[in-house]
Amino acid sequence: MSIDHCAEAVRLRALLVAIASGDGVQQARFGEDEVRYFAADKAELKQQIAYHESICAGKRRRFAVRGRFRAY
């Protein structure tokens, strides 16, 4: 299964906006008690967005060191 990195970056960015605006808050009520929560790791989400955007743009994230042969 192939991942569309451009679409995934857009989806994750929309999720980050929802977290920032408070749209993603969940609510649970047990009798008179009410709990609101949204568990999200914003740093990890931003890292995933950067990863998918870099692949979408065609940029390499890691570079290998090349060895060169020198004839003496």
- Is residue 62 in a domain? no
Question: Does 66 map to a domain?
Answer: no
What percent of the chain is predicted at pLDDT more than 90? 8
**Separation CA 26–CA 35 (nearest Å):** 8
Q: Which domain holds residue 22?
A: 5-57
Amino acid at 12: L
Neighbours of 55 (CB within 10 A): 16
Of all residues in the chain, the percent with pLDDT exceeding 70 is: 82
The total number of structural domains in the chain stands at: 1
CATH number at residue 13: 3.30.1580
Helices (H), the chain: 5-21, 42-57
Residue 59 has pLDDT above 70, yes or no: no
Phi and psi at residue 35, in whole multiples of 5°?
A: -125, 135
Q: What is the model's pTM?
A: 0.60
